[in-house]
Amino acid sequence: MNLYQRRQLMNRVGIGLSMLAMTFGLLALLWILWTLFSKGFAALSWDFFTQDTPAPGTEGGGMRNAIVGSGLILFFTTLVSTPIGILAGIYLAEYGQISRFAAITRFVTDIMLSAPSIVIGLFVYALMVATMGAFSGWAGSVALSLIAIPVVVRTTENMLKLVPTSLREAAFAVGAPRWQVSLKVTLRAVKAGVVTGVLLAIARVTGETAPLLFTALNNQFFSTDMSQPIGNLPVVIFQFAMSPYDNWINLAWGAALLIALLVLGINIGTRILFRQKEHI
């Protein structure tokens, strides 16, 4: 067997092993999705969206309080993390190429990207919950923002680095100041990628349970007061899935499906919207 035949054999073996690994991964994913959809859809009903979480051992009930609480926490998380992450990404890509402060910022961002979410939850617990003496929705939003901001920063910086230098030079040639070039030229050129980064950050924090256990905790009753413990889907799923009550377990399956559909719908809807704009 010559060198060419040996390379062909190794190539076929590598492709075969790759296809086997991909098939195994797809089968596992399909099995998980089938289980989630089959058990989750069975739990969805009108009461699921209009009633609050039931007491232990009772039948019926829903996830209204947890849905509203998660919506509020995610809304304020997005409101905080999006501008901070985008502006920090713009600074790193446009102003801080050789800055020492930018190098430190990138280092801290990388650490936060790899930090376990429970560590961030403990940090916010010590910073806010222990200081104020109470769990709150605000603390939950701060914890999730600390997880989302590094994702937005890194995605924004990487997307802006893909903008050709000639585009910046053309904007500078007509007399545009640097801040206008950054906001109205380069950022606009990669807005689809930046929005995708924001969506990745939202998807990253939507199902986070550990930070909310130490910050927002939970509330069995309907509440929109962010200064108090507030219901949220991840913590309710964690508590209900571990319970001995069949009704709670069924509601947990429905809540898990709701989170999966929410993340999937946001990603698909945004991609379709930007694809339509590109064709116009």
d(CA 72, CA 226): 8
Report CA-CA distances (Å) from 79 to 74, 99, 199, 238, 251. Answer: 8, 28, 13, 26, 29
The CATH number given to 50-279 is 1.10.3720.10
Domain positions in the chain? 3-43, 50-279
The pTM for the full model equals: 0.88
Q: What would the pLDDT profile of 192-235 be if each residue is shown by its tens digit? A: 889 888 988 998 899 899 999 999 999 999 999 999 999 999 99
Classified as helix, coil or strand, 128 is helix
Are 157 and 93 in contact, with CB atoms under 8 Å apart?
Answer: yes
Average pLDDT, the chain: 90
Which residues have a Cβ under 8 Å from the Cβ of 249 and sit 6 or more positions away? Answer: 240, 241, 243
Stretch 68-77: mean pLDDT, rounded? 95
pLDDT tier, 36 (very low <50, low <70, confident <90, very high otherwise): very high
Look up residue 270 and give its amino acid.
T
Stretch 253-273: mean pLDDT, rounded? 85
| Nearest partner of 129 among 237, 229, 225, judged by Cα | 229
Q: What would the pLDDT profile of 87-142 be if each residue is shown by its tens digit? A: 999 999 988 877 888 889 999 999 999 899 999 999 999 999 999 999 999 999 99
C-alpha dihedral sign at 208, 45, 66, 251: negative
Q: Which helix (H) or strand (E) holds 4?
A: helix 3-43
pLDDT at position 273: 66
